[in-house]
Amino acid sequence: MAYDEYQAERIRQVLEARKVTFVEKKMMGGWCVMVDNKMLCGLLQDKETKDVLLMARVGEAQHATSLAKEGAQPMTFTGRPMKGYVFVRGEGIDRQDDLEDWLQVCLDFNPHAVSSKKKKK
């Protein structure tokens, strides 16, 4: 599973400083952070460019605003954009305040997010 451990540690530090209870999971070909059993954000590596990608769950209301930010682009796993999610390239999270801003947008949306239903075995 390809993701940038340095960026993962930066995310951990921000969440710990804000006293956010979270769980880390390896999923979607990378690393995800779960808050209240809902995906908050994650990290992947772009298969073509090898760039770091932050997966940010921003919600549909913040989707267009989020796409206007530096480094942001539609999140496409299946070839179609996923509403309420964006990818943020490395240049959009290089500065600490930029990373903190993205995580705050994700944290603000998290209480409104719907938890995925667990599949029955």
**103 dihedral zone (left: phi>0; alpha: psi -120 to 50; beta):** alpha
User: For the segment 41-91, what is each residue's pLDDT rounded down to a tens digit?
Assistant: 999 988 888 888 999 999 999 999 999 999 999 998 777 888 899 999 999
pTM of this structure: 0.90
In order of their start, the domains of the chain are 5-110 (3.90.1150.30)
The SS3 of residue 114 is coil
